[in-house]
Homo-oligomer: A and B are copies of this chain.
């Protein structure tokens, strides 16, 4: 099934205890697309300024990312500068320069309107709604959001939730949106707003898939080296949606396996600055790591008690 992502295409400057990088390829749509493309072709809708190194993007992922929906506007590209704490558990935004992103109004390119699997990256919920208006026959739409929109555009966000199949957010965002610190009650509250599923990402602890009356948990891959958490959530989304697009099925069993592909992509994402963690990663590597997740969570069958 055709896969579409709408989100930011940015240049990130990141400081971690292990090093720093300037103007690395970033943005939700980029992290998503690089991960998803290991599983299925993906179309990207976004905007960049005159200064964006498109060749770097094109070079990076020849596997099936269609960047033709990335609009080129006069001006500067979206830039984010952030610094992580020594344990990578928290980060501080040092600077955000919206540039051409400030006037972004996503327009789906030819062939984008009939996308079946749609991911709305973390942008203004009004724009996310605008994208949904342009998609003619979606099978599965998911969206991300963040504290900024939860606070400033709550009503639009709630309108959006009535129209998507799934919300995929961090635990802190789920808590803030629902006003409930218990993550399972928060998940149930979100389901009551419209989506039939919610994925709650928990960073180094993994992620939860909450459906009405049933939950699933996938841990994070046990990494002894984590380099840069930026974009891990979007890579998770890329793995999740890319898998669904590949198998063309949306039942619980496939959603659970999509969680494993999401966690797998998240584990590659944190291994390098920007999208460099994906360099050299093959489809075979992905399948091998998926099998490692199965071992990591496998509960051996019971024996009768003596």
Contact = CB atoms under 8 A, between A and B. Distances in A.
Interface of A: 86-87, 181-185, 188, 202, 204-206, 208, 214-219, 222-226, 246-248, 253-254, 256-257, 260, 290, 293-300, 302-303, 305-306
A184 B222 contact: yes
B306 A248 contact: yes
Contacts of A205: 202, 205-206
Given A205-B202, A305-B247, A306-B247, A300 B217 contact: no
A86 B183 CA distance: 14
Given A205-B205, A224-B184, A217 B302 contact: no
Majority DSSP secondary structure for residues of A touching B: mixed
A42 B257 CA distance: 40
Given A182-B226, A202-B205, A297 B217 contact: yes
A223 B181 CA distance: 12
B295 A297 contact: no
Contacts of A247: 303, 305-306
Contact of A295 (B181, B214, B218): B214
A92 to B, nearest CB: 18
Contacts of A300: 253-254, 256-257
Contact of A219 (B219, B222, B226, B248): B219
A256 to B, nearest CB: 6
A181 B299 contact: no
A4 to B, nearest CB: 19
Nearest to A204: B183
A257 B304 CA distance: 13
Contacts of A183: 204
Contact of A257 (B253, B290, B302): B302
A139 to B, nearest CB: 15
A223 B186 CA distance: 11
Nearest to A305: B246
Nearest to A290: B302
Contact of A216 (B86, B182, B246, B296): B296
A217 B215 CA distance: 16
